[in-house]
Amino acid sequence: MAPKASILCTIALVFIFLPLTGSIQFKFPAIFNFGDSNSDTGELVGAGIASLEPPYGRSYFGTPAGRYCDGRLIIDFLMDAMDLPFLNAYLDSIGTPSFRKGCNFAAAGSTIEPPTAHAVSPFSFRVQVAHFVRFKARVLRLLAKGKKLDKYLPAEDYFRNGLYMFDIGQNDLAGAFYSKTFDQVLALIPLILTEFETGIKTLYDQGARNFWVHNTGPLGCLAQNIAKFGTDPSSLDELRCVSKHNQAAKAFNLQLHALCKKLQGQYTDSNFTYVDIYTIKSDLIANYSKFGFEQPVMVCCGYGGPPLNYDSRIGCGKTKVLNGTTMTAKACDDSSEYVNWDGIHYSEAANQYVSSQILTGKYSDPPFSDKMPFLLDLKF
């Protein structure tokens, strides 16, 4: 069964077994997003730090659209589900984008902890929060001058009533494995989450009240990490993923979940929703054929052939001379058959599947299956 058909069947079954209640609303006037490449809609590219070339964007936008994917990201599908337009990146100043319905501060390569000298992105979580604070202050000043820019900027009450989304932490863990032992990576987690908590407090002080937190996925199942750390078969788990990376992700998620519970108790006038992305993605990789995929780990856009089709020396769409021969990392014919797009990021088809599972509400704490009517807005 193709991924799209599988998703539609999933939604149909949910509607059969869950009663719909028209009075339930799952609407937010605006979305403010923070994260890394899993939800970057053009920040790193807009900052001039990185560039994306075809075949990025080919499955939906027809051209690179600032996203590290062949098409839409999870956040794009979630925005559709809430009947909101795709989020513009904070640093995207081309074409006078509208920020009326929110703003995206996520940047590929970002970490929660302050970046190192060799970091891909300088936009750590602290910097993203600082960007938001400046964005809000600037918006309020502009709104005070009159209604000329109202259609481009969020209204003042949108900052309190909007949804604040987070998908960050993956790079903190994955990057740490290059210089630290497994035990050292685990010891780093409380420090990472202390930094995250500080950012949440700042946003709360700025008026944020609705928080939506994604945990991190199975890092050990990314081709990039398997190629680097999975050469010894004994290092792999039952899914043929790097065991230590997945264990670290689980430890991080356990503590992140506890932090969300703590914050909910501390900020009683707020709503914290913790979303278990790890379980959704792990289930997809373990049962890929059930959901219409043919390759759970092998990369669609890469170089090297089976089993991973990944070479860290040649990024997707790039051409380089290796051992005297010119090589190009090309895309597969049908990316909807692949879970992984470029060795690090999921394909649009996989993102669509993950989104459909998020929207069931059963992978969230607290669950929101009683708000299923808003699924009617989901677009394919």
> Hey, which residues are catalytic here?
37, 342, 345
> ∠277-41-56 over CA atoms, to 5°?
95
C-alpha 209/C-alpha 205 separation (Å) is: 9
Q: What is the DSSP string of 222-262?
A: SHHHHHHH-SSGGGB-TTSSBHHHHHHHHHHHHHHHHHHHH
Q: How far is CA 380 from CA 136, 228, 241, 375, in A?
A: 32, 36, 31, 12
For residue 233, cis peptide bond before it (omega within 30 degrees of 0): no
C-alpha 245/C-alpha 236 separation (Å) is: 10
CB 342, CB 351: distance < 8 Å: no
> ∠293-294-299 over CA atoms, to 5°?
100
Strands 210-214 and 163-167: parallel
DSSP one-letter code for 114: P
